Amino acid sequence: MINEKITLEDILTLRPELKAFLFDLDGTLVNSQEGIITTIHEFLQTKGHTFDRQLITELFGKPLEVVFKILIPDLTEEDITVYLKEIRERYSKNHTEITPLFPKTKEILDGIKAKGFKMGVASTKFKKFIVEILEHYNLLGLFDVIVSGYEVKNHKPAPDILIETAKQLQVLPSECVYIGDSPSYIEAGKKAGCVSIAVLTGPHGQ
């Protein structure tokens, strides 16, 4: 079903056994796109690589090691490990300051929690940064579990992270709604058996 606006009543009609809401982070709860793309762009320039920002934008949401492999195919695994370490050190210095919360995010999350639903974050982001940004906006206590893409074997659009998040919440994937901002995330939700809701707050349009 494709609707421009979805209500909780709509979701419960589709899935009356609903028990949990699973959320992506970047582009869904927080407006991190510009900060992440700028960090990647500037970091690669320090390494002597210049790429069009639009190309980096198109890769937004993929794990960093995948981004590096696509942009610079001749990088060795050792190079990628070094790049990951260095860019995370750079990003950690100011990522909370360059990552605003989307309007009404806390209000929506508080409303879902108040209705007794379990909530989890399922994000490809490095877990340390997920926790720090949620703490920064006083959201951490709203979530029952946080699962990073680095805790599962296959990244989205494989359903692994959603299956694992549901498992940790002690619910079935079919009892979950997954909310994300990219086609691959919605594909992952469908493969897992969740109700999938796409938001247009990330880089992808309808």
pLDDT at 78 over 90: yes
Q: Are residues 103 and 12 in the same domain?
A: yes
Q: Are residues 105 and 12 in the same domain?
A: yes
pLDDT tens digit sequence for 134-185: 999 999 999 999 999 999 999 889 999 999 999 999 999 999 999 999 888 8
User: Given 69, 92, 115, which residue is the final one in a domain?
Assistant: 92
pLDDT tens digit sequence for 44-72: 999 999 998 888 888 887 889 999 999 99
pLDDT band at 2 (very low <50, low <70, confident <90, very high): low
What pLDDT does 178 receive?
A: 97
pTM for the whole structure: 0.88
Q: Are residues 175 and 105 in the same domain?
A: yes
Query: Residue 64 sits in a domain of what CATH number?
Result: 1.10.150
Q: Are residues 45 and 17 in the same domain?
A: no
Burial of 25 per CB tally in 10 Å (0-12, 13-18, 19+): buried
Neighbours of 76 (CB within 10 A): 8
Residue 191 lies in a domain: yes
Number of domains in the chain: 2
Residue 43 lies in a domain: yes
Q: Are residues 65 and 118 in the same domain?
A: no
Angle, nearest 10°, between helix axes 77-92 and 64-71? Answer: 120
Q: Are residues 110 and 127 in the same domain?
A: yes
pLDDT band at 1 (very low <50, low <70, confident <90, very high): very low
Q: Are residues 191 and 140 in the same domain?
A: yes
Q: Are residues 85 and 174 in the same domain?
A: no
Query: Residue 173 sits in a domain of what CATH number?
Result: 3.40.50.1000
- 3-state SS string for the chain: CCCCCCCHHHHHHHCCCCCEEEECCECCCECCHHHHHHHHHHHHHHCCCCCCHHHHHHCCCCCHHHHHHHHCCCCCHHHHHHHHHHHHHHHHCCCCCCCCECCCHHHHHHHHHHCCCEEEEEECCCHHHHHHHHHHCCCHHHCCEEEEHHHCCCCCCCCHHHHHHHHHHCCCHHHEEEEECCHHHHHHHHHHCCEEEECCCCCCCC
Give the CA diameter of the chain.
Answer: 54
Neighbours of 143 (CB within 10 A): 20
Residue 203 lies in a domain: no
What is the distance between the alpha carbons of residues 67 and 188, in angstroms, rounded to a whole number? 19
Tell me what the mean pLDDT of segment 13-24 comes to: 94
Share the mean pLDDT of the chain. 92
Structural domain of 178: 8-32+99-198
Pick 130 or 15 by higher pLDDT: 130
